Amino acid sequence: MKKLKRVQMMVAITPKVSMALAVIACIFYLIGMKASAYIVIGAIAVLLVIYLILCLTAWRCPHCHQYLPTKNAGKITKCPACNKNIFDEDE
Ligand SMILES: [Zn+2]
């Protein structure tokens, strides 16, 4: 139960963090700090890989094991497929 909460937080936050980092990378690039820009881009790549792995393995309904939506992931409490509370532990 706690694990899924943590996964939800990661799935909700990672795209926003990636966007923020992308903006930072652009700024670094534009002001000529290309080495810093590449480091930030590398961090984005790592975040996206973690995000994909989470979405494919952990961000699933504990009842019917369907993939859960990634859009507005932070607000989801019910599985759209079986309509059960995803934080409810009893099957
Ligand atoms: Zn379900």
**How confident is the model over 49-86, as pLDDT tens digits?**
999 999 999 999 999 999 999 999 999 999 999 999 99
Distance from residue 70's CA to the centre of ligand 1 (Å):
14
Question: What domain count does the chain have?
Answer: 1
Distance from residue 83's CA to the centre of ligand 1 (Å):
6
What is the separation, in whole angstroms, between the first and last Cα of the chain? 12
90 pLDDT band, cuts 50/70/90, is: low
Distance from residue 57's CA to the centre of ligand 1 (Å):
15
CA distances from 75 to 31, 79, 86 (A): 37, 11, 11
88 pLDDT band, cuts 50/70/90, is: confident
**Cα Rg of the chain, angstroms:** 16
Residue 80 forms part of a structural domain: no
Distance from residue 55's CA to the centre of ligand 1 (Å):
15
Residue 44 forms part of a structural domain: yes
Residue 87 forms part of a structural domain: no
pLDDT over 70 for what percent of the chain? 96
- pLDDT for position 2: 75
Residue 21 forms part of a structural domain: yes
pLDDT over 90 for what percent of the chain? 91
Domain that holds residue 53: 2-75
For the chain, give percent helix, strand, coil, nearest 5: 65, 5, 35
